[in-house]
Amino acid sequence: MLRAERCPRLPFLIRSTAMTGARYVRIKRFAELTGYTEKAVYRKIADGVWIHGREYRRAPDGSLCIDLEGFQKWVENGQAPASSR
């Protein structure tokens, strides 16, 4: 299965990123854009599927911000975790 098939909203996400110019979004907005639940995002971070500095960062105020470019690369090139839930 192609990675883009796992995120059918990826073309929309790419367009919306280009239109807004925002590279980083908070988790709530990321969930709205992609259809991933907030819980799924926190789980990917906690399980080490997403790496700090690659798919997400912490803002100076401590907020978690998802890197939309990092997410796009993960969808296109990433590997599925060894164990499935």
The model's pTM: 0.71
Number of domains in the chain: 1
Q: How far apart are CA 14 and CA 48, in angstroms?
A: 24
DSSP E strands in the chain: the ranges are 24-26, 56-58, 64-67
Two structure tokens written together for 67: 């890197």
What is the three-class DSSP state of 63?
coil
- Which residue range forms the structural domain that includes residue 58? 24-75
Q: How far apart are CA 19 and CA 50, in angstroms?
A: 25
Residue 49, domain member (yes or no): yes
Residue identified by tokens 């854009």 is 33
Residue 59, domain member (yes or no): yes
pLDDT, tens digit, 9 for 90 and up, residues 23-48: 999 999 999 999 999 999 999 999 99
pLDDT at residue 85 in the model: 45
